[in-house]
Structures are given as structure tokens and as C-alpha cells.
Amino acid sequence: MKQYIVDAFTEKVFAGNPAAVCIMDEWLPEDVMLDITRENNLSETAFAVKEGDHYHLRWFTPGGEIDLCGHATLATGYVIFRFIEPELEEVHFETLSGRLIVTKKGEIYELDFPAYRLNKVEVTQEMLDAVGVDIVEAYLDRDLLCVLKSEEDVRNFAPDFDKIRNLKDGLLLNITAPGSECDCVSRSFAPKLDVNEDPVCGSAHCHIIPYWATRLGKEEIVAYQASRRGGTLYCRSKGDRVVLGGKAALFSIAEIFLD
């Protein structure tokens, strides 16, 4: 079985967020897909099967299946556009988060994703202990979003993964602040899914972009994920939807040998 590794939300390899992509004729057993994911040891491996006019897409972390993943969706769209159906300019996916669309616009791949509903919550001592710096505001949906005072607080954040894993609120911890060369900067942590830091997390921006669109009073947001690898997202807030745009770079094509 062929497998592609694509660096998403970047124009060059060794940056952005790497995802493995397998486009299959039929589904493998779930335990085999999880074994492949753990063997890859990336934050996400995407599996897709063509069903009529769309693809059924599933995402796995080393800790199990997840309901939404931006960078692996972008990577899957990139593989389909480049290698599977190059005549397409739009690909539709059925997922655990409903119908998702990836549109090719030159070098940019745009993802149309559902926005999470931000529920403002009290900043607790547990949150402060896990983050280690002052938290301006905190919001909760699937993830916990903590707004920090400065870009330097985000970039210099030294995570304690045990404390983040033990946070009772949120699947991921996302931290964000205003950016100096973009609208916002952020970092995302998912030790509950056996992914300590997600280098560039698309689904996290389904929390981050609605916050900054409201805060800044603008629909179009340029976001930078300030991990070691780093990545840029060109985003639009559309009410209950978020458009996440980014580039992609192919790292490798490999053959997986299954019994």
C-alpha cells in the first residue's frame, strides 16, 4: 500500500506539520490503521477511501481516532489533487465532523471547517499551574484555549506535559496571543492523545480564529503557529465555519508491506 508524507501549512519540507496519507481501495481493520499510525509516530495519519463522488476520511493519532484534523485533511487533499485525481479543483470528504471541502487555489489549499463555539470559562489555578504565566482569558469547547499577554509568552512557553495531560478541561491545550508580524501566534499541545506538541494544528484554529476575528473585528486572519517547525495559516471567519488556507510540501512516498 502506498503512503505519502506531506508537510502541511508550509512551502518547504522540514517545516509545517507532517502527516502521513493512505488512499485505499477499501478499509483496513481499525487496529491495523492504528498500528500504522503508531509505526509512523507522527501526530496524525489519514486514511481515505473513495465512495461515489466523495472520499470517506478518517484521522488517527498514536492515541486513537480523532474527530477533526486540519493539517492531515490538507495533506490528503494535496495527495488527491497531485497524484490521484489531478483534474479536480475541489475534493469533498465525509468525516466524523461532517462534510469537509478542500479547494485548490494556486499554491494554497483551503479547508472549509466547522467553527467551535467558544464558551468563556473561569481561569483556574490548575490552568495557571499548567501554563506557568498569566492567562488573560480562557475559553472551552473541544479544546481549552488560553489567551496570553504577549507573543513572547507563547514563543517561550516551556510546557509541563504531565500538568497539561492532567488538565480536566479540553482535549488539547491551545495558547495564543497577538502577533507582531501576523494577526496572532499560537501553540498547541495534545499529550492526552500521545502528541506532546502539534507543530501546526488546523483544528485548534477552529477555536483560535473565531476568537481573534471577534477580538480584532475582521474576518481575514493570518495566523502563525510558533512551534519549532512553524507554519502559517491564511484564515477567514464565516460565522459557524472557518476557512483555513495553507501550502504543502511533499516529503516522501513509500510502500507499506502488509501481510
Q: Which of 205, 211, 228 is nearest to 157 (CA)?
A: 228
The active-site residue out of 30, 44, 152, 220 is 44
Give the three-class secondary structure for 91. Answer: strand
Give the distance, in angstroms, between the CA of residue 66 and the centroid of all CA atoms in the same chain: 11
Q: Do the beta carbons of residue 185 and residue 225 sit within 8 Å? A: yes
Q: Are strands 2-8 and 195-198 parallel, antiparallel or unpaired?
A: unpaired
Q: Do the beta carbons of residue 201 and residue 17 sit within 8 Å? A: yes
| Half-sphere exposure at residue 201, Cβ-oriented, CA atoms within 13 angstroms | 31
For residue 229 the three cell numbers come to 517547525
Query: By CB neighbour count within 10 A (0-12 exposed, 13-18 middle, 19+ buried), where does 66 fall?
Result: buried
Give the distance, in angstroms, between the CA of residue 44 and the centroid of all CA atoms in the same chain: 9
For residue 88 the three cell numbers come to 479536480
Q: Which residues pair with 224 in a beta bridge?
A: 185, 232
Active site residue 44: yes
Q: Which residues pair with 99 in a beta bridge?
A: 94
119 CB contacts (<8 Å, ≥6 apart)? 139, 140, 141
For residue 66 the three cell numbers come to 480523532
Catalytic residue numbers, as ranges: 44
